[in-house]
C-alpha cells in the first residue's frame, strides 16, 4: 500500500512509447501483407489446387493455428540456428507472425472463396457476361465484401499480437514500456498508459478500416 500514482514521471517518455506504437504498427502491416500473400495462395490452392498440394497447405494451416505464436517464434529464433539459419530477433518475430498470419488468413479466405463459388453459379445465370466480366463485376466485389470484415478484424488481432515481440527484445510499444518500467519503476503508470495507447491505436485502426470497407466494398464491419 501507499503507492501514489505519479504519471508526471513518465510523460517525458511518451515520445518513446509513440515510437514503439509506430514500430508495432509497421510490424503488424508487414506481417499482415506477407500473411495475406501466403493466405491468398494457400486459399487458392485449397479451393482450386491439386489434392496433394492442398493437403500440404492443410497441414500447415492446422499446425500453425493449433500452436501458440509465441512458441513458434521461440522455435524460429532459438532452434533454427542449429540448422544454420540465423535470424535476428526482429526477423524471427516478423517471420513467425507472417507464417502464423498466413495460416489464419488461408482459412479466412478459403471461406470467402467458397461463398464466391455459390455466387459464381448464380452469376453464370446472368445473361451475356463473359467469364472475365463475371470475375471483374460479380465475383471479386462479392469476395471483397465478404472478406473485408474478417480480414480487418484479424489485422487488429495482429496489431495486439505484435506485443509479444517485446519478449525477444524488439522495442515496439510493449518493449518500450518494459524499458521505461525498468528505468522509472512506475509500473502501473507505464502499463496503463501503454494499454491506453493500444486501445486508441486499435480503435483508430478499426474505425478507419470500417470506413474504408464501407466506402470501397460496401462491407459492413461491426465496430462494437
Partner 1 sequence: MLSQIAYEWPEFATYYNWVFLAGAAGTTLALSALGVILGSVFGLLLAVARISDGRLLLPLRVLAFAFTEIFRRVPFLVTLMLAFFGFQIFFSDVPLFVVAAVTTTFIASAFLSEIIRGGLNSVHRNQWEAAEAMNFSQLQTIRHVILPQAWRVILPPAFGFFVMFIKDTALASQIGVVELTYAAKVLNNKGFSAALAFGVVLLIYFAISYPLARLGAALEIRLAPSRHHRP
Residue 90 to residues 24, 72, 77, 96, 168, Cα–Cα distance (Å): 11, 14, 9, 10, 8
DSSP secondary structure letter of residue 129: -
The grid cell for 111 is 471461406
Q: How far apart are CA 187 and CA 181, in angstroms?
A: 5
Q: How far apart are CA 1 and CA 29, in angstroms?
A: 42
Nearer to partner 1, 48 or 63 (CB): 63
Nearer to partner 1, 107 or 145 (CB): 107
Cβ 72 to partner 1, closest distance in Å? 7
**Which residues contact partner 1 (rule: CB under 8 A)?**
1, 3, 62-63, 65-72, 74-75, 78-79, 81-83, 156, 160-164, 166-167, 174, 177-178, 181, 187-188, 191-192, 194-195, 198-199, 202-203, 224
Q: Which of 32, 67, 38 is nearest to 46 (CA)?
A: 38
Cβ 174 to partner 1, closest distance in Å? 6
Q: How far apart are CA 84 and CA 92, in angstroms?
A: 14
Q: How far apart are CA 152 and CA 209, in angstroms?
A: 7
Cβ 60 to partner 1, closest distance in Å? 13
C-alpha triplet 23, 99, 54: angle, nearest 5°: 155
Residue 67's contacts (CB-CB under 8 Å, 6 or more residues apart) are: none
Q: Which of 140, 198, 122 is nearest to 166 (CA)?
A: 198
Cβ 79 to partner 1, closest distance in Å? 4
Q: Which of 163, 52, 32 is nearest to 108 (CA)?
A: 32
Nearer to partner 1, 18 or 144 (CB): 18
Cβ 69 to partner 1, closest distance in Å? 7
Nearer to partner 1, 69 or 98 (CB): 69
Nearer to partner 1, 11 or 78 (CB): 78
Nearer to partner 1, 35 or 217 (CB): 35
Cβ 80 to partner 1, closest distance in Å? 8
Amino acid at each position: 500500500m501507499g503507492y501514489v500514482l505519479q504519471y508526471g514521471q513518465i510523460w517525458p517518455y511518451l515520445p518513446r512509447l509513440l515510437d514503439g506504437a509506430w514500430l508495432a504498427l509497421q510490424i503488424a502491416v508487414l506481417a499482415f501483407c506477407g500473411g495475406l500473400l501466403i493466405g491468398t495462395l494457400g486459399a487458392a490452392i485449397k479451393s482450386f489446387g491439386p489434392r496433394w498440394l492442398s493437403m500440404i497447405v492443410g497441414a500447415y494451416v492446422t499446425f500453425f493455428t493449433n500452436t501458440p505464436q509465441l512458441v513458434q517464434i521461440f522455435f524460429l529464433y532459438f532452434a533454427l540456428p542449429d540448422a544454420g539459419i540465423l535470424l535476428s530477433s526482429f526477423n524471427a518475430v516478423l517471420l513467425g507472425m507472417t507464417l502464423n498470419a498466413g495460416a489464419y488468413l488461408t482459412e479466412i479466405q478459403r471461406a470467402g472463396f467458397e461463398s464466391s463459388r455459390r455466387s459464381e453459379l448464380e452469376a453464370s445465370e446472368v445473361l451475356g457476361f463473359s467469364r472475365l466480366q463475371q470475375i471483374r463485376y460479380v465475383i471479386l466485389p462479392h469476395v471483397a465484401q465478404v472478406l473485408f470484415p474478417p480480414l480487418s478484424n484479424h489485422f487488429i488481432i495482429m496489431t495486439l499480437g505484435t506485443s509479444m515481440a517485446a519478449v525477444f527484445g524488439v522495442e515496439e510499444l510493449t518493449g518500450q514500456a518494459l524499458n521505461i518500467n525498468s528505468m522509472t519503476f512506475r509500473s502501473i503508470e507505464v502499463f496503463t498508459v501503454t494499454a491506453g495507447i493500444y486501445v486508441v491505436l486499435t480503435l483508430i485502426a478499426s474505425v478507419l478500416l470500417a470506413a474504408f470497407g464501407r466506402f470501397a466494398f460496401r462491407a459492413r464491419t461491426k465496430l462494437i
